[in-house]
Amino acid sequence: MSGTGRPKTGGRAKGKKNKVSELVRDRLKALQCDPIEQLVIIARQAQQNEDLQLAVVVYKELAAYIAPKLKSIELIESVAAPEPLEIIITRAVRPPLTALNEGE
């Protein structure tokens, strides 16, 4: 990385497309091939032929161009708080001394 305030050195010029991607785009253009259009045709034919598995796969591929893929996140189970305890505090009452003496 060049860091803040430093000029860019090396690599592609700003705005210049990747060579391989550019070659592929040029080749597809020369062949008059639009892969997105072909995927739509395949998906529609699959749907008409009731091959829903293929249709789903193709539509799923196409959806990536219009909707961002969401990253999965790990859910951590939270430990449930224990149920509240009910604590009952009672006061012990000493029996009168006379009652103790009578029991002897």
Under 8 Å between Cβ of 54 and 46: yes
Q: What are the pLDDT digits (tens) for 81-96?
A: 777 878 777 777 777 7
First vs last C-alpha separation in the chain? 96
| pLDDT tens-digit map of 43-95 | 999 999 999 999 999 999 999 888 877 788 887 777 777 778 787 777 777 77
The reported pTM is 0.50
